[in-house]
């Protein structure tokens, strides 16, 4: 059988691998607490479920969606940006509906790059960036992220030749896996870097609302008022616990949105209209739910961090996402320690190397398990011998 060479450099998706390991252990009777995958455990709020039921019962909603998404959802995205970030968006030209932001990010690479083009991605980072780049035939340049710099890249360290040849630069704040936040100074520099080098600047803002302090929430688009080079991806998975619903958006530069729409128009037929309508309602009426889940994650963070500190484990002081990023104890590699946690305490976590080689020496804990399971995990960590 002849297989496409473009897939030869793409590794197995780490979270699918972790899920397989977990299922195998559970089948053997093991009690596994999964703190590896960032899939919110708190159910989608009932007011959104009821809205979905209402929209499903409206038979006019059963047709194909417009390729760019329905106006109702795209207008809600534009209103959300105006209300929260004072960013003005033309919902017809500067917003597009996605079947989850993961799909949109992957398709963006195909939309704006040619084979051999340079793309600049962080290291460590969400694995989809590198996979999408490899599948698209791009040359990948990795920006180093380090704890000493609060996981903000040094743009001046990017080779000038790479910057001049690159089509795309992607960042992710609030950051997965570290939980780091961007600041005004960095975003201003990033936008100027994009303009100077004619690069499309992308922020994957999946966790934009999962933040300890509302005042620390920023959008990349706040710093590119002309929206000439920047685009931001968002999802309702984390903010409104709609991960399985698969609904997200891209917003920003109209030229990039147009190219993404052209590709998606050939590749998919949009998301189910009732899901889009429910998403619009979430963006308009979901602020209280965001406050509610942030309080829960903060409490869970305190419980797990207290257990790690009792074991003298260094924790990165993050203020975003629902992840804890910590250094593995001396003498261990990341994967080795994650397997030790699994075997000795029945806790599944993600090794830092799942996010790139610069994740070595760290592991990530997700806080997306029930309060009871979080407390149980904390006790297991305290009792663990290593």
pLDDT band at 316 (very low <50, low <70, confident <90, very high): very high
Q: What is the pLDDT of residue 12?
A: 66
Mean pLDDT, to the nearest integer, of 102-110? 96
The candidate with the shortest Cα–Cα distance to 293, out of 368, 219, 350, is 368
pLDDT in tens, 232-241: 999 999 999 9
- Tell me how far apart the 2 most distant CA atoms of the chain are, in Å: 62
Alpha carbon distance 193, 200 (integer Å): 10
Q: What is the pLDDT of residue 143?
A: 98
Q: What is the pLDDT of residue 186?
A: 98
162 has a pLDDT exceeding 80: yes
366 has a pLDDT exceeding 70: yes
Alpha carbon distance 269, 261 (integer Å): 11
Domain locations in the chain as residue ranges: 5-44+288-383, 62-286
In 239-374, beta strands by DSSP E: 248-252, 323-327, 347-348, 350-351, 362-366
Q: What is the pLDDT of residue 280?
A: 98
Alpha carbon distance 251, 96 (integer Å): 7
The candidate with the shortest Cα–Cα distance to 348, out of 338, 357, 356, is 338
User: Which pair of structure tokens corresponds to residue 258?
Assistant: 């147009």
Q: Could you give the strand order of the β-sheet that contains 139-144, starting from the edge strand earlier in sequence?
A: 95-98, 248-252, 230-235, 200-204, 166-171, 118-123, 139-144
pLDDT in tens, 54-90: 999 999 999 999 999 999 999 999 999 999 999 999 9
13 has a pLDDT exceeding 80: no
145 has a pLDDT exceeding 70: yes
The domain defined by 62-286 folds into 3.40.640
Residue 162: count of CB within 10 angstroms of its CB: 16
Alpha carbon distance 85, 220 (integer Å): 10
Q: Could you tell me what percent of the chain has a pLDDT over 90?
A: 89
The candidate with the shortest Cα–Cα distance to 110, out of 1, 306, 267, 245, is 267
Domains 5-44+288-383 and 62-286 share a fold: no
Alpha carbon distance 315, 302 (integer Å): 12
Cβ neighbours for 322, distance < 8 A, ≥ 6 positions apart: 38, 40, 207, 210, 238, 297, 300, 301, 366, 367, 368
The per-residue pLDDT of the chain, averaged, comes to: 95
Q: Answer whether 123's CB lies under 8 Å from 356's CB.
A: yes
Using CA atoms, how far residue 101 sits from 96, 129, 233, 249, 348, in Å, is: 11, 12, 6, 6, 25
CATH number of 5-44+288-383: 3.90.1150.10
288 has a pLDDT exceeding 80: yes
pLDDT band at 158 (very low <50, low <70, confident <90, very high): very high
The candidate with the shortest Cα–Cα distance to 171, out of 138, 193, 197, is 193
Q: What is the pLDDT of residue 104?
A: 97
Any idea which of 304-318, 336-350, 353-367 has the lowest mean pLDDT?
336-350
Q: What is the pLDDT of residue 28?
A: 84
348 has a pLDDT exceeding 70: yes
Q: Rounded to the nearest 10 degrees, how much is the dihedral formed by the CA atoms of 220, 221, 226, 229?
A: 50
Q: What is the pLDDT of residue 331?
A: 95
pLDDT in tens, 252-278: 999 999 999 999 999 999 999 999 999
Q: Is 246 left (phi over 0), alpha (psi -120 to 50) or beta?
A: left
Q: Between helices 71-85 and 273-285, what is the axis angle to 10°?
A: 20
Cβ neighbours for 370, distance < 8 A, ≥ 6 positions apart: 41
Q: Could you tell me what percent of the chain has a pLDDT over 70?
A: 95
Q: What is the pLDDT of residue 55?
A: 98
Any idea which of 6-10, 95-99, 307-311, 316-320 has the lowest mean pLDDT?
6-10
Alpha carbon distance 142, 180 (integer Å): 18
């Amino acid at each position: 059988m002849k297989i496409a060479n473009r897939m030869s450099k793409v590794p197995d998706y780490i979270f699918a691998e972790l899920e397989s390991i977990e299922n195998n252990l559970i089948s053997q009777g093991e009690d596994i607490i999964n703190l590896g995958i960032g899939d919110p455990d708190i159910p989608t709020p009932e007011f959104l479920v009821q809205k979905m039921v209402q929209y499903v019962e409206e038979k006019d909603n059963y047709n194909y969606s417009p390729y760019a998404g329905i106006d109702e959802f795209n207008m809600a995205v534009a209103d959300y940006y105006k209300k929260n970030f004072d960013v003005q968006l033309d919902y017809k030209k500067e917003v597009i509906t996605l079947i989850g932001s993961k799909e949109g990010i992957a398709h963006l690479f195909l939309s704006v790059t040619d084979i051999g083009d340079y793309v600049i991605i962080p290291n460590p980072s969400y694995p989809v960036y590198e996979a999408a780049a490899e599948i698209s035939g791009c040359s990948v340049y990795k920006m180093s992220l380090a704890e000493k710099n609060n996981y903000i890249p040094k743009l001046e360290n990017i080779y000038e030749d790479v910057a001049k040849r690159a089509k795309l630069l992607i960042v992710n704040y609030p950051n997965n896996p570290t939980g780091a936040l961007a600041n005004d100074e960095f975003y201003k520099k990033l936008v100027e870097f994009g303009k100077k080098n004619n690069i499309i600047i992308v922020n994957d803002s999946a966790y934009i609302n999962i933040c300890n302090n509302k005042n620390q929430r920023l959008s990349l688009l706040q710093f590119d008022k002309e929206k000439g080079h920047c685009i931001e991806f968002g999802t309702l998975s984390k903010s409104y616990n709609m991960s399985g619903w698969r609904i997200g958006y891209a917003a920003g530069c109209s030229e990039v949105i147009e190219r993404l729409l052209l590709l998606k128009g050939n590749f998919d037929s949009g998301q189910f209209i009732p899901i889009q309508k429910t998403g619009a309602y979430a963006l308009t009426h979901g602020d209280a739910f965001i406050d509610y889940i942030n309080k829960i994650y903060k409490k869970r963070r305190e419980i797990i961090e207290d257990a790690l500190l009792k074991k003298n484990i260094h924790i990165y002081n993050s203020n975003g996402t629902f992840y804890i990023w910590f250094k593995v104890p001396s003498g261990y590699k990341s994967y080795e320690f994650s397997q030790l946690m699994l075997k000795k305490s029945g806790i599944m976590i993600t090794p830092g190397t799942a996010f790139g080689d610069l994740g070595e020496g760290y592991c990530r804990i997700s806080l997306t398990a029930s309060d009871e399971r979080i407390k149980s995990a904390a006790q297991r960590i305290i009792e663990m011998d290593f």
